[in-house]
Structure 1
Amino acid sequence: MAQDNLVITPVSGKSDMQAFIDLPWAIYANDPHWVPPLKAEVRELLTPGKNPFFGHAEAQYFLARRGDRVVGRISAHIDRLALEQPVEQGMGPGTGNFGLFEAEDATIGAALIATAEQWLRDKGMTRVLGPISLSIWEEPGLLVSGHDHPPTVMMGHNSPTYQAMIEGAGYVPAKQLKTYELDITKSFPPLIQRIIASGEKNPRIRIRKVEKAKFDREAAIILSILNDAWGNNWGFVPITDAEIAHTGKKLKPIVFEDLIMIAELDGEPVAFMMTLPDLNEALAPLNGSLFPFGWAKLIWWLRKPKVRTMRVPLMGVVQRLQSSRMASQLAFMMIETIRLEAISKYGSTRGEIGWVLDDNQGMNAIAEAINSTVNKLYQIYEKPL
């Protein structure tokens, strides 16, 4: 596709793939809040055989060039597990995705989006949901508010100009995702403290740390709760065993036992809360590479991280308890336990919870009850083909 001396081609070969990976360094050269990812991690994300997402998905990447200069990129992809989900939950038959979107200007953006749409149309898709890069479990949504501070680990960051590009291409909001921040050095309101104290006196409730030595068992428990808790959520796509193993291996260096809690009721695991130290604080100075000295700096940091921000990427309570007072009590107890650990052992002062669906009333209410405030908004858009 050519327009205004603009040429868009499918990514083909090693040099194209390298150009696709490298482009954000040019796009965000003057953005102090962008955190360069590790290029090796991005390559793994994009490569079938290395990312188990491709066990149930296919993707095509495209590059935009003006002359010899790469000026944009996009992915078009189809997740077969997403196609099997109920339509009322956001995915469903005929729904493809675009993601990994970068463009120097609106002309480039429009051409890239049209190219991704045509690829999806040729594959029989009738609707686009995006941006999602690449899985709903990775970096979903376009940042539309909160560009003035860096993202935490595993959250996206993009140019504020992209919102107009995507909406200009005919996309309308499908779902908004929120992240909340809070000052964890401050005690929670008296009402929340009383709810926590009541739970601590309840012999039926046990809040425990995960055991890293039994990582596979603990991961299976968390996955079981997650699939039950999130099963009816908008955008839900089941996580495969291969994806769990892959994610577990990747996250293991930043998994700390005192930052992940499992709540048991009458001896049965019914809730969990996962907290990760903000690895982006360590990655930002490395500029995408572990060489020549980045690996040593990162290993040193991982031995005993001192980190300003802790992120809660995942939290879940089994569905049978979700509308009960017990659900919020367990959540408050886990949050308080981790809050105290984060302050005393990691020197943390700030927490970030998210992402949270805009219509997840229970989680939004919990976030507001502990005096956290929305600091970033991500928008997922949709369009019929």
Structure 2
Amino acid sequence: MTDSQIVITPVTSKADRKAFVDLGQHFAAQTPYSVPQLRGEMLELIDPDKNPFFEHAQVRLMIAYREGRAVGRISGHIDELALELPPEQGMGPGTGMFGYFDAEDEETGHALLAAAEQWLREQGMTRVIGPISLSIWEEPGLLTFGHDHAPTIMMGHHPAQYQGWIENYDYTAAKRLLTYDLDTTKEFSPLIQRIVKSCERNPKIVMRGADKSRFADEVRIILTILNDAWSDNWGFIPFTDSEIAYAAKKLKPLIHPEIVRIVELDGRPVAFMITLPDVNKVLKEIDGKMLPFGWFKLWRWSKKPLDSDMRVPLMGVLKEFHNSRLASQLAFMLIDGIRLAATEKFNTQRAEIGWILDDNQGMVAIADAIGSTINREYLIYQKSL
């Protein structure tokens, strides 16, 4: 497909995938506050033989060239599990996606969007949403607020001009995702402290750290709660068994039992909260390179990430409790317990909570109640094909 001097070609080989990743890193290096990610990790995410996302998805990666020089990239993809969702949850039949959007200029950006849209039409799609790169659990949305500071682990970071380029191509906002900044050194209000103390005094409620000696079992407990707790949320796609195993393997080095908690009610797991130390701090120091000594710095930091910011990517309470006071009580208990542990053990000063759907009233109310403030906003766009 061509647009003036722009030629867009599909990624079909291992060498092409390397070029696709290297191009993304090139654009990231030109974006203020962006953090270089590990090249090997990025290659693995787009490798059909390694990322289990490809087991239920069709993916078309594309690179734009102008006079032989790479000037942009994009993915078009169809998640078969997303097609099974009810339309009121944001996806459903006929919904394809675009992601990995990078472009040197608006003309290139529009040519890339047109190419992704055309491929999706050819696959029978009638609607497109994005950017989502590649899974909703990886990097959903385009950064539209918060460009003036670095992202935390597993959060995207995009040039400010991309928003105008996408909106100028007839895309409209489908969903707003928020992250919240929390000063972990400050105690919560007396009201929340009383709620937490009440939970701690209840003999039926036990909060414990994750047990790394039975890590696979703990991961399944957490994701079983997650798949239930989030099942009615916009854009929710349940983890498959192979994705659970993949996520467990990838995240295990970053798991510290003190900051990953499970709550049991009468011995039954009913809530959880995962907190991850912000590896982006180290990736910035080593410039995203494992060699010659980056691997050692990363390994040493992962053992005890002192002075690290934290990110809370996931938390949940079983759906049967969502309309009761217990849900918010358990959330406050989890947040306060992990806040104290992170501050005392790792000298953490701040944490980022999210992403949170802007219309998730329960979580937004909890974020407001603990004194956190919105520090980043991401938009997922939509367009009829």
Which band: TM-score by shorter chain?
over 0.9
Does residue 1:364 correspond to 2:367, yes or no? no
CA distance in 2, matches of 1:227, 1:133: 20
1:223 Cα deviation from its structure 2 partner: 1.1
Write the deviation string for residues 2-37 of structure 1: whole angstroms up to 9, x where unpaired: 223211111132332222111133323343410111
Describe the superposition over 1:25-71 as per-residue Cα deviations: whole angstroms up to 9, x where unpaired.
33233434101111100110001010000110110111011123211
- CA distance in 1: counterparts of 2:26 and 2:285, whole angstroms: 16
Deviation, structure 1 residue 332: 0.6
Q: CA deviation at 1:308?
A: 3.1
Query: Counterparts of 2:39 and 2:162 in 1: how far apart (Å)?
Result: 23
CA distance in 1, matches of 2:146, 2:270: 33
Give distance in 2, aligned partners of 1:365 and 1:258.
Answer: 25
2:11–2:61 Cα contact (<8 Å) kept:
yes
Worse-matched range after superposition: 162-171 or 303-312:
303-312
8 Å Cα contact 1:273/1:314 also seen in 2: yes
The DSSP-based 3-state class of the residue aligned with 1:159 is: coil
Could you say which residue in structure 2 is the equivalent of 1:349? 349
Kept in 2, the 8 Å contact 1:277–1:307? The answer is no
Task: Write the letter of the residue equivalent to 1:322.
Answer: H
Aligned residues: 385
1:384 has 2:378 as partner: no
Q: Is the 8 A contact 1:278 1:307 kept in 2?
A: no
Change (3 A) 1:42 1:28: closer
The answer on whether the counterparts of 1:133 and 1:140 sit within 8 Å (CA) in structure 2 is: yes
1:266 is matched with 266
Map Cα deviations across residues 228-283 of structure 1 (whole Å, 9 max, x no partner): 10001000111101000001000000011111111111211110000000011111
Q: What is the CA-CA distance between 1:287 and the residue it aligns to?
A: 2.4
Task: Report the alpha carbon displacement of residue 360 of structure 1 after superposing the two structures with TM.
Answer: 0.5
Q: Which residue of the partner structure matches residue 143 of structure 1?
A: 143
Distance, in Å, in 1 between the alignment partners of 2:30 and 2:95 is 35
SS in structure 1 opposite 2:97?
strand
Give the equivalent residue in structure 2 for 1:161: 161
Kept in 2, the 8 Å contact 1:82–1:237? The answer is yes
Query: Please, which moves more after superposition, 274-283 or 289-298?
Result: 289-298
Counterparts of residues 218-367 of structure 1 (less than 5 Å): 218-367=218-367
Q: What is the match of residue 122 of structure 2?
A: 122
User: Percent of pairs identical after alignment?
Assistant: 59
What TM-score do you get using the length of structure 2 for normalisation? 0.98
- The answer for the alignment partner of 1:99 in structure 2 is 99
2:28 and 2:35 in contact (8 A); partners too: no
| Letter of the structure 1 residue corresponding to residue 270 of structure 2 | V
SS of the residue 2:29 aligns to: coil
TM-score in terms of structure 1 length: 0.98
Structure 1: state its 5+ residue gaps.
none
Amino acid across the alignment from 2:47: T
- For the residue of structure 2 that corresponds to 1:262, the secondary structure is strand
Tell me the distance in 1 between the aligned counterparts of 2:293 and 2:354.
32
AA aligned to 2:263 is A
- Computed over aligned residues only, the root mean square deviation of the Cα atoms, in angstroms, reads 1.0
User: Matched residues in 2 for 1:87 and 1:356: separation?
Assistant: 20
SS of 1:28's equivalent in the other structure is helix
CA distance in 2, matches of 1:273, 1:147: 27
Q: How does 1:173-252 map onto structure 2 within 5 Å? A: 173-252=173-252
User: SS at the partner of 2:62?
Assistant: strand
Deviations along 1:55-108, whole A, 9 cap, x unmatched? 101101110111232110000000001101111111101100000000011000
Q: After alignment, is 131-140 or 290-299 more displaced?
A: 290-299
1:46 aligns with: 46
The Cα shift of 1:288 comes to 2.6
C-alpha separation between the residues in 1 aligned to 2:184 and 2:288? 30
Q: Could you tell me whether the CA contact under 8 Å between 2:271 and 2:318 is conserved in 1?
A: yes
Find runs of 4+ consecutive structure 1 residues off by over 4 angstroms. none
Give the CA deviation at 1:198: 1.2
Q: What is the CA–CA distance in structure 1 between the aligned matches of 2:251 and 2:284, rounded to whole Å?
A: 18
How far residue 169 of structure 1 moved from its aligned partner, in angstroms, is 1.0
For 2:277 and 2:7, how far apart are their aligned partners in 1? Answer: 42
Asked if structure 2 preserves the Cα contact closer than 8 Å seen for 1:228 and 1:319, the reply is yes
**Structure 2 residues without counterparts, runs of 5 or longer:** none
Question: Residue by residue, what CA displacement relative to the aligned partner does 1:109-151 show, whole Å, maximum 9, x if unpaired?
Answer: 0000000000000000000010000000110000000010011
Which piece of structure 1 moves more, 315-324 or 1-10? Answer: 1-10
Aligned equivalents of 1:17, 1:224: Cα separation in 2: 33
Alignment check: 8 A CA contact 2:311 2:353 kept: yes
Greater shift, 369-378 or 190-199, is seen at: 190-199
Q: Which residue of 1 aligns with 2:25?
A: 25
For 2:61, what is the secondary structure of its paired residue? strand
Contact residue 36 and residue 284 of structure 1 kept, 8 A: yes
In the alignment, the residues of structure 2 paired with residue 196 and residue 303 of structure 1 have an alpha-carbon distance, to the nearest angstrom, of 30
Task: Tell me the SS of whatever aligns to 1:152.
Answer: coil
Contact 1:281 1:307 in 2 (8 A): no
Mapped partners of 2:240, 2:18: distance in 1: 29
Q: Distance in 1 between matches of 2:181 and 2:72?
A: 32
Deviation at 1:352, TM superposition (A): 0.5
Q: Quick one: distance in 2 between partners of 1:241 and 1:249?
A: 13
Of residues 198-207 and 348-357 in structure 1, the stretch that sits farther from structure 2 once superposed is 198-207
Return the alpha-carbon distance in structure 2 between the equivalents of residues 9 and 333 of structure 1: 51
